[in-house]
């Protein structure tokens, strides 16, 4: 079963440490979103559409973290059996199916979180472009492109396993065809993530820099975009690390969980930092 599903014999990190990291990221994300909400409400006294998308991103992140917390205990039980630390137990194969389906769900929620953050940023920047015909055309084009890339991520993930919806019967998602499709899915998602991030950050750059704001506020804007670059660096490191580990055997699911939680957390924190860009209608 382990060889069929690609679950390795050793975990990258202990269950206790991984749970601590996940709970910490949950707490940090909630604190940042609450702080952002307070800062914006104190000035605007209303909730805007980009705020709703930010709450949606937080909900997706919390759902992803929750699924990881549910899936990790059976994952570590399966790993212990594989390593010979524990005997084969009743429900071992059922745990394997739960793990595969759970990681499928977390992948979808991972992308949903990132793309909700992207749409939230687009909605925020749209306020700068109202009345500017050329910019609004670019904005709509970028919004549609961003949504299409998200659909592409979902489709590529579904196609990355030939028997996703029969996994309980076949018990397998590790054929040569599946491994090749998973690599394509991995690098497509990275390319889509980086390209959309670059385009979203570049779209309002000229307008923001030409705003009549203080030098300190311009520095804040530059710092915000700097954090965006950090997000792209995290995404690249995650994919390269996963790819390198996959070359010597299936990348550890615990490694995938750790980087997914970190990358989504950084994305949410980055969006929360944009509370400094309070743009009125």
Residue in 234, 162, 239, 241 with CA at minimum distance from that of residue 197: 234
- CB within 8 A of 59, min separation 6: which ones? none
Please tell me the distance from the alpha carbon of residue 215 to that of residue 35, in angstroms, as a whole number: 24
Q: Please give the C-alpha separations between residue 247 and each of 5, 157, 191, 255, in angstroms, as whole numbers.
A: 16, 19, 20, 15
Instruction: Write out the chain's pLDDT in tens, 281 residues.
Output: 344 344 445 556 778 888 898 999 999 889 888 887 777 777 767 777 888 888 899 999 999 999 999 998 888 888 878 777 778 778 777 888 888 888 888 989 999 998 998 898 888 888 878 888 888 999 999 999 999 999 999 998 888 777 665 554 444 566 777 777 777 888 888 889 889 988 988 887 777 666 666 666 666 666 666 667 777 777 777 777 666 655 555 556 777 777 788 877 877 776 666 555 555 44
Domain count, the chain: 1
Write down the pLDDT at residue 100: 82
Let me know if residue 74 belongs to a domain: yes
pTM of the model: 0.82
Q: Please provide the DSSP assignment of 210-243 as one string.
A: HSS--HHHHHHHHHHHHHHHHHHHHHHHHHHHHH
Q: Which pLDDT does position 2 carry in this prediction?
A: 41
Q: How far apart are CA 112 and CA 200, in angstroms?
A: 17
281: in domain: no
**Domain interval for residue 200:** 2-276
Residue count of the chain? 281
58 contacts 30 by C-beta, under 8 angstroms: yes
Question: Which of 14, 9, 3, 77 is closest to 257 using CA atoms?
Answer: 14
206: nearest Cα among 271, 278, 128: 128
pLDDT at 219: 65
CATH number at residue 162: 1.20.1070
């Amino acid at each position: 079963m382990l060889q069929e599903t690609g679950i390795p014999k050793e975990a990258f990190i202990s269950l206790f440490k991984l749970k601590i990291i996940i709970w910490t990221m949950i707490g940090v994300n909630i604190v940042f979103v609450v702080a952002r909400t307070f800062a914006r409400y104190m000035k605007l006294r209303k909730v805007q559409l980009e705020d709703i998308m930010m709450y949606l991103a937080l909900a997706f992140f919390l759902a992803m973290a929750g699924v990881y917390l549910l899936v990790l205990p059976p994952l570590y039980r399966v790993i212990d059996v594989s390593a010979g630390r524990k005997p084969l137990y009743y429900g071992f194969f059922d745990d394997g199916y739960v793990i595969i389906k759970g990681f499928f769900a977390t992948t979808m929620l991972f992308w949903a979180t990132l793309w909700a953050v992207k749409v939230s940023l687009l909605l925020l920047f749209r306020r700068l472009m109202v009345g500017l015909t050329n910019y609004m055309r670019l904005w709509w084009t970028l919004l549609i492109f961003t949504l299409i890339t998200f659909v592409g991520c979902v489709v590529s993930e579904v196609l990355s396993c030939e028997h996703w919806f029969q996994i309980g019967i076949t018990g397998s998602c590790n054929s040569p065809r599946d491994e090749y499709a998973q690599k394509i899915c991995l690098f497509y998602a990275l390319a889509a993530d980086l390209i959309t991030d670059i385009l979203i950050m570049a779209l309002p750059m000229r307008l923001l820099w030409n705003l009549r704001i203080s030098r300190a506020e311009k520095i804040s804007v530059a710092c915000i975009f700097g954090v965006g670059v950090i997000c792209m660096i995290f995404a690249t490191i995650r994919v390269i690390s996963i790819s390198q580990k996959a070359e010597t055997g299936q990348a550890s699911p615990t490694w995938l969980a750790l980087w997914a939680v970190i990358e989504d957390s950084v994305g949410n924190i980055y969006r929360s930092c944009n509370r400094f860009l309070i743009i009125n209608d």
